[in-house]
């Protein structure tokens, strides 16, 4: 009787253990199942896109991301962003957000393209000053100024700035490939605040001229200002001194011969102190007498 009870208890415990083991295995299998993730299409940058750039189809690609990883402002089709201008840089592989682009048809203002630490300054130009219209946005120029010298005498031409970036021509900020150069009335340059002061003063007190630099020419050449006298090929003034001594007239001796009188030392020194000075200014020559004390 006792053995039968022990066997019954053992059987009951074994059954309970089997049920517990089966339940545990089923629960583990249920948690290990991979849940299905829903994916959606999104537009991402195929390359780095700088600020102020018009987006093209080659800059974009479609990617599949998890629905939970999709940014609420991300573009889902390329047509939403092609042709629009970036307000900030977009990194390769980044989702293209509508908030980082200007609205369709809107062009960026000049403030978007001014380099950091620079200011935009416009100067008036004509066909001569603007290099006959051959200057384009993105080119680099030297700024020359012709003005009167500080003493109000000679005209002076000096190089005010070198290697200055051209931001815009008139109101056009894009370089266009035209068959003929277009002459405009203003050129906008990217300069520092100190350079802006120099170019403003030079324009107000003299005449500006732009010199177009070669592509990728970053060196600077330091030259002295050129004056009108240097342009004429002469020094400011050349002085030639020619001393002259007047001889007293000859006198006849008792024998009838000409006799040169002996000049007193004081008289000779007085005569030697008279000079004829030839002054040359450009092509003009003049002679003046100078009495030395």
- What number of CA atoms fall less than 13 Å from residue 234's CA on the CB side? 13
Quote the pLDDT of residue 28: 66
Round the average pLDDT of the chain to a whole number and report it: 75
Lowest mean pLDDT among 25-34, 41-50, 101-110: 25-34
Q: Is the pLDDT of residue 128 over 60?
A: no
The answer to whether the CB of 59 falls within 8 A of the CB of 45 is: yes
Third-level CATH fold of 39-100: Type Iii Antifreeze Protein Isoform Hplc 12 (3.90.1210)
Note whether 74 and 45 are within 8 A (CB).
no
pLDDT over 60 (residue 245)? no
Domain ranges, ordered by start, for the chain: 39-100, 111-231, 238-291
Model confidence band, residue 170 (pLDDT cutoffs 50, 70, 90): confident
Q: What is the CA radius of gyration of the chain?
A: 46
Contact 44, 78 (CB under 8 A): no
Average pLDDT, integer, range 140-152: 83
* Strands 207-212 and 140-148, bridge-based pairing: antiparallel
Say what the pTM is.
0.47
Over residues 211-219, mean pLDDT: 80
The pLDDT score that the predictor gives to residue 278 is 65
pLDDT-based confidence at residue 184 (cuts at 50, 70, 90): low
For position 239, what pLDDT does the model report?
A: 40
């Amino acid at each position: 009787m006792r053995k039968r009870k022990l066997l019954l208890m053992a059987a009951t415990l074994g059954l309970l253990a089997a049920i517990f083991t089966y339940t545990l295995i089923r629960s583990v299998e249920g948690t290990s199942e991979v849940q299905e993730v829903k994916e959606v299409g999104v537009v991402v940058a195929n390359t780095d896109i700088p600020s102020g750039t018009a987006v093209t189809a080659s800059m974009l690609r479609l990617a599949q991301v998890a629905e939970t990883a999709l940014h609420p402002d991300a573009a889902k089709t390329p047509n939403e962003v092609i042709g629009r201008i970036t307000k900030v840089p977009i990194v390769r592989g980044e989702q293209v957000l509508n908030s980082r682009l200007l609205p369709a048809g809107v062009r960026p203002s000049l403030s978007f393209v001014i380099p950091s630490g620079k200011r935009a300054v416009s100067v008036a130009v004509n066909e001569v000053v603007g290099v006959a219209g051959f200057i384009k946005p993105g080119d680099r120029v030297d700024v020359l100024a012709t003005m009167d010298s500080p003493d109000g005498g000679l005209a002076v031409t000096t190089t005010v700035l070198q290697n200055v970036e051209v931001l815009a021509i008139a109101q056009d900020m894009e370089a266009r490939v035209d068959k003929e150069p277009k002459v405009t009335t203003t050129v906008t340059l990217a300069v520092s605040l100190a350079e802006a002061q120099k170019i403003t003063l030079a324009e107000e007190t003299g005449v500006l001229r732009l010199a177009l630099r070669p592509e990728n020419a970053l060196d600077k050449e330091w030259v002295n200002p050129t004056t009108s006298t240097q342009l004429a090929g002469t020094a400011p003034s050349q002085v030639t001194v020619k001393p002259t001594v007047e001889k007293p007239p000859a006198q006849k001796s008792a024998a009838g011969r000409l006799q040169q009188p002996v000049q007193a030392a004081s008289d000779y020194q007085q005569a030697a102190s008279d000079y004829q000075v030839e002054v040359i200014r450009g092509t003009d020559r003049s002679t003046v007498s100078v009495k030395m004390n």
